[in-house]
A and B are shown apart, each in its own frame.
Chain A
Amino acid sequence: MSDTALQAAPTTKARGYWATVARRITRDKVSMVCALILILIFASALLAPWLHLADPYQGSMIRRLRHIGTPNYPLGTDELGRDMLARLIYGGRLSLIIGILPVIFAFVVGTSLGLIAGYVGGKLNTAIMRTVDVFYAFPSVLLAIAISGALGAGIVNSIVSLTIVFVPQITRVAESVTTGVRNMDFVEAARASGAGPFTIMRVHMLGNVLGPIFVYATGLISVSMILAAGLSFLGLGTKPPEPEWGLMLNTLRTAIYVNPWVAALPGAMIFAVSICFNLLSDGMRSAMDIRN
């Protein structure tokens, strides 16, 4: 049958797996609301310079710690008199970068390691998975802080340490999913038809293992946001005067007796991003679980 015949033939269209998943998730109200909030936060962080905001670095000694709702300062000012609204929106740039990049890096590295370990098996699997076990012997917060603390403060170091924390977790998920797929008939068929291991991994396995790993990684973003901001909160991430939610929370801590609710604002941003990614990950997981 030619291609055109194939396209013309079916009258009742059978939807593909991913199309079904997409349809299910767009019908899930919670997921859509979360996606909308995230898009808003991302877009405002990205477009911050064009939003006619105050200068997030410009302080003023006479306008320190204004309350929420002060004219011209809808969200008040911080301990150095800088506009909170501008700092919260600009703060999204660094906060999102240091929260999400580690998961992306870990996703790439962890998926590759897990795929290789799961597909090749044998001694290579043992070597990779036993190494992963060692990192599981540390609580993740402790590991992140240990590496960050040893490397010293800084954005790059904090991204590196969080990546190291997440690689083992993603590797474990990728390995177990891959092992499950490896023994399926279609992989055997591909091997019988002469496909090499690299082709099998790339063409036949990757598509089948990426979904679950992706969902897992989306859930990790929530943890990563909290940890990345936490490192900055401790003074191990971003350095002042950069606007970043964790660091802002730290410097505003001294202001809780003067203007408590302004001091709490950056944490609300971290919470919003974290809970939205968590709910979105839950939504994707149930959307991909077609059997239910």
Chain B
Amino acid sequence: MFAYTARRIVYVIPIVISVALVCFLLVHITPGDPLVAVLPADASQELAAQLRTAYGFDRPLPVQFGLWLWRALHGDLGSSIATGRPVLSEVMRAVGNTVMLAVAAAIIGFTLGLLFGLIAGYFRDTWVDKLATSFAIAGVSLPHYWLGMVLVIIFSVQLNWLPAVGAGPGGSGAWAWDWEHLRYLVLPAITTSVIPMGIVTRTVRALTGDILSQDFVEALRAKGLRERGVFRHVVKNAAPTALAVMGLQLGYMLGGSILIETVFSWPGSGLLLNSAIFQRDLPLLQGTILVLALFFVALNLLVDIAQAAIDPRIKRG
């Protein structure tokens, strides 16, 4: 297990460097001068040249990348052009809210997905299966930002049960674990949970169906094992793949939260990314994407290791 973990970690290093390279290059594919956002419109050529030297934009790209990576490794992602605050602290504060949203959505989506998937897989081609499958396919086909709007229309505009936007009466900084604040989490969490619900349902349904049609299940039943025991075997066999899919989905929820956070004005990393894009705040854009992508890489690594821990066959493969 140790050797496998070490090998996986070593394998991740080039990925991390390439991810950093992609984030670094993002700023350089932007049309025009990367200084455009910093410079006042009437800046003189001299000032522009001075700033170019100050930011290091006059050096060759590989050198710039090296310097940028070196600073990033030391936790320095530059400072936001809009607010002047360090990018890293801005991003980390926002990521906390996104993690909260993603975990809440994961609890809803994974529970329902596992439940629907197991039921559908067990009762294949019955009406229950058809119902669960329809739920799943609707879940993966829904434009989730639209679902968010529809939920707001129903539960905020028409019924007036839940707040439409924001993260609590005291703004983003004053979160507390009471209903007064949790109310704000309900609609965004449900909206976020729909895609993972659909994907987990489809995966678990397929897995359960496959496992139940294998010979060893026949053998288990033939030797007189009760249905509960058979079920345990099904769960054990489905767990590694289901776990991998759920890990990936959690990563997608963390990284892809921009649309939902925009709909609900949820003060997470997605909303931060949104404002970075529209204020042309390139250091903030770069930093947010880097942090989110690294979260995703780390999560994938954890999932791989966890998967190998439950299923020893993976280590050999």
Interface of B, secondary structure class, is: helix
Closest Cβ of chain B to A257, distance in Å, is 6
Interchain CA distance A55-B80 in the complex, whole Å: 44
Does A249 lie within 8 Å of B145, measured CB to CB?
Answer: yes
Instruction: Find the B residue at minimum CB distance from A231.
Output: B259
Interface of A, secondary structure class, is: helix
Chain B residues with CB below 8 A from A282, complex form: 137
Chain B residues with CB below 8 A from A270, complex form: 143, 146
Any B CB within 8 A of the CB of A146: yes
Chain A residues with CB below 8 A from B30, complex form: 150-152
Any A CB within 8 A of the CB of B182: no
Does B141 lie within 8 Å of A278, measured CB to CB?
Answer: yes
Does A267 lie within 8 Å of B146, measured CB to CB?
Answer: yes
Interchain CA distance A275-B146 in the complex, whole Å: 14
Interchain CA distance A222-B138 in the complex, whole Å: 11
Does A134 lie within 8 Å of B158, measured CB to CB?
Answer: no
Chain A residues with CB below 8 A from B141, complex form: 222, 226, 271, 274-275, 278
Which residues 20-43 in B have Cβ within 8 Å of A in the complex? 22-23, 26-27, 29-31
Does B146 lie within 8 Å of A139, measured CB to CB?
Answer: no
Instruction: Find the B residue at minimum CB distance from A235.
Output: B278
Any B CB within 8 A of the CB of A137: yes
Chain B residues with CB below 8 A from A135, complex form: 22
Any B CB within 8 A of the CB of A186: no
Does B146 lie within 8 Å of A141, measured CB to CB?
Answer: no
Instruction: Find the A residue at minimum CB distance from B28.
Output: A150
Partner of B256, one of A137, A139, A266: A139
Does A138 lie within 8 Å of B152, measured CB to CB?
Answer: no
Any B CB within 8 A of the CB of A142: yes
Range, interface on chain A: 35 or more
Does A263 lie within 8 Å of B153, measured CB to CB?
Answer: yes
Any A CB within 8 A of the CB of B106: no
Instruction: Find the A residue at minimum CB distance from B293.
Output: A138
Any A CB within 8 A of the CB of B142: yes
Does B137 lie within 8 Å of A139, measured CB to CB?
Answer: no
Any B CB within 8 A of the CB of A256: yes
Chain B residues with CB below 8 A from A264, complex form: 146, 149-150, 153
Does A150 lie within 8 Å of B29, measured CB to CB?
Answer: yes
Partner of A139, one of B149, B152, B255, B263: B255
Does A140 lie within 8 Å of B146, measured CB to CB?
Answer: no
Any A CB within 8 A of the CB of B204: no
Chain A residues with CB below 8 A from B140, complex form: 222, 278
Any A CB within 8 A of the CB of B189: no
Any B CB within 8 A of the CB of A279: yes
Per-residue CB proximity of A119-160 to B under 8 Å, as 1/0? 000000000001001110111111001110111100000000
Chain B residues with CB below 8 A from A236, complex form: 277
Does B273 lie within 8 Å of A149, measured CB to CB?
Answer: yes
Any A CB within 8 A of the CB of B252: yes
Does B146 lie within 8 Å of A138, measured CB to CB?
Answer: no
Known: A141-B259, A150-B30, A256-B153. Contact between A233 and B145, CB under 8 A?
A: yes
4 closest A-B pairs by CB: A267-B146, A141-B256, A139-B255, A275-B141
A-B contact pairs, 15 of them (CB 8 A): A134-B15, A138-B289, A142-B296, A146-B26, A149-B273, A149-B285, A151-B30, A151-B31, A152-B31, A226-B141, A234-B277, A260-B158, A261-B153, A264-B153, A278-B140
Binding site for B on A (CB under 8 A): 130, 133-135, 137-142, 145-147, 149-152, 222, 225-226, 229-230, 233-236, 249, 253, 256-257, 260-261, 263-264, 266-268, 270-271, 274-275, 278-279, 282
